Chain A
Amino acid sequence: MDMKVAKKKLGLKEKYRLMTRDLGWEPTYRAKDEVFPYVNYEGIKVHDWDKWEDPFRLTMDSYWKYQAEKERKFYAIIDAHAQNNGHLNITDARYLSALKIFLQAISPGEYAAHKGFARVGREFPGVGTQVACQMQAIDEIRHAQTQIHALSNYNKYYDGFHAFADARDRIWYTSVARSFFDDAMSAGPFEFMIAIGFSFEYVLTNLLFVPFMSGAAYNGDMATVTFGFSAQSDEARHMTLGLECIKFMLEQDPDNLPIVQGWLDKWFWRGFRVLGLVSTMMDYMLPKRVMSWREAWEIYGVENGGALFKDLARYGVRPPKGWDDAEKAIDHMSHQFMLGLYQWSFGTSFHSWIPSDEDMDWLSAKYPTTFDKYYRPRWDHIRKLAVAGTPFKNFGLAKLCQTCQLPVVFTEPDDATMSCHRETEYKGEKYHFCSDGCQHIFDNEPEKYVQAWLPMPSLFQELNGDIGAWMNWVGLRDGEDNGDYSGSRDQRNFDQWRGMATSNT
């Protein structure tokens, strides 16, 4: 009997069942609690793991096929970029600052997310969940690798790329992203899903990858467009997984609602603080801009985030606690942050600069109620100091927020002329915060946040305030990687090489 029967192609649902749930088993010689010891302590009640369903119903065999296709597309473009002097085709070398921040702060976050998903994929008992987390763990390491690989081409020609891993661990402006991931990875598996699946994927990556990568296309940077869109094609699946996880928890037991709501409040605010970096990259660091941070927020924050919370209202979920404060900060945050980056630029592994007249006119058109009133006078004064030969450097270093670890550059939600001062005392120690949102997070779990390693106090603890020793330690080459773009080696090289590329002399 070797009659061939044409194999019937499996339907999507049947294939998903066979390739996920049917791969699972019930433990026999160990109790389930012993096999999955971390799934209960957060208080989330789950009655039926089989109710978890990946809306895309992606199975491992298809996953490999499509990911391989994405990689082939990615490397075709990366090769073309390197072969065609891609490093000279960007609009201006100022643009590279955005890439340097991305590589130092965000790409290592992808790697952290990889580790986190590998862990929670093991900690969740449901098979559908395990498979989805396994895919996401592989996605995240792919993102870290493709980003590092794509940007390595720039490292051959420009400063500030070479020590990104040390910058991630040790420098100060990256600690907002590092602490975000450390916080997520030291949480339980369900909270981790909200932190990454909801906050990082839903709140952050749309705002980071979509308008910013579209901006990279505008600025002639095909390498970044390619890794950005290649990564984001996975994010659509990740967001869907994050949303699925939220709905699953809410549907499994009504007692889960307050826990989930608390996490949404916390992780919205943590994500929003990471966006401080992104807002500055969008408004100040793209020589040619696609949209302002405010415009991007309208689309992906107000419209899409609003739709999400309207949808989740059927479970009793309300918008995150910090939502209104976030809205009030939108027209200020990029300016407050860039002013900080400029005055501390002796300590950044990227260049910053005083916006040109044209840049400032664009900013005042995009921020009609805030830029001319609050921020243009400061930039004008800073420019006057530079012209007078006494460029503004703030050697005072900065007070950092105990929770988000950013310098406390933010103002009161209702008064943009007043720094936000928040402090509390816990077991006899004082702690400072940038906002009510960050203070609430601390107050809920002080034992976690008292341990924060804050870069600026550490400079005094470990190096006695020696800035030169600190620069060596973080991999920052003074006079090359840091300071004003104007007069930098990146500027000189870009201008010279571009001249050579477009003429025969």
Chain B
Amino acid sequence: MSTVFIALQANEETRPIIEAIEIDNPLAVVNRQPAMVKIDAPNRLVIRKETIEEQIGREFDLQELHINLITLGGNVTEDDDSLTLSWAE
């Protein structure tokens, strides 16, 4: 098992995104550090457009993530509906 992670700035825009990630990834662990939030998960983490839209109540383009993204670890796969981080098992 390897850990994938994503780190986002801690701000009002990312709060619902982090909530959406927690909903979609029951195994994710959220670490709150000064000014940032780092989310770790075993092998795979998925970020879904639909879940974020449910949290924020508007349309969301997944590429908006770039604005508040700090760093990530894992291979990235992105399409219109989701962004997945994964390591080969």
Contact = CB atoms under 8 A, between A and B. Distances in A.
Contacts of B74: 307
**Binding site secondary structure of chain B:** strand
Nearest to A15: B80
Interface string A103-127: 0000000000000000000000000
A217 B70 contact: no
B75 A290 contact: no
A12 B80 contact: yes
B47 interface: no
Contact of A56 (B33, B35, B63, B80): B63
Contacts of B73: 206, 304, 307-308
Contact of A236 (B3, B34, B69, B87): B69
Nearest to A56: B78
B72 A69 contact: no
Interface residues of B, number: 29
A209 interface: yes
Interface string A30-57: 0000000000000000000000000111
A311 B71 CA distance: 18
B75 A55 contact: yes
A69 B5 CA distance: 24
Interface in A430-454: none
Counting chain A residues whose Cβ lies within 8 A of the other chain, the interface size class is 35 or more
Given A12-B79, A235-B71, A229 B9 contact: yes
B4 to A, nearest CB: 7
Given A56-B78, A307-B2, A69 B67 contact: yes
Nearest to B79: A12
Contact of B2 (A55, A62, A310, A314): A310
Interface in B3-53: 3-5, 7, 9, 33-36
Contacts of A240: 72, 76
Contact of B75 (A233, A303, A311): A311
A13 B78 CA distance: 9
18 contacts: A12-B80, A13-B79, A56-B63, A56-B76, A57-B78, A62-B63, A66-B66, A206-B71, A209-B71, A214-B35, A217-B35, A232-B71, A236-B70, A236-B71, A240-B76, A290-B34, A304-B3, A311-B88
Interface of A: 11-13, 55-58, 62, 66, 69-70, 73, 205-206, 209-210, 213-215, 217-218, 225, 229, 232-233, 235-237, 239-240, 243, 290, 303-304, 306-308, 310-311, 314
Given A55-B76, A210-B71, A217-B34, 13 more contacts: A69-B67, A73-B67, A210-B7, A213-B35, A214-B33, A214-B35, A229-B70, A233-B70, A236-B70, A304-B73, A306-B2, A311-B87, A314-B88
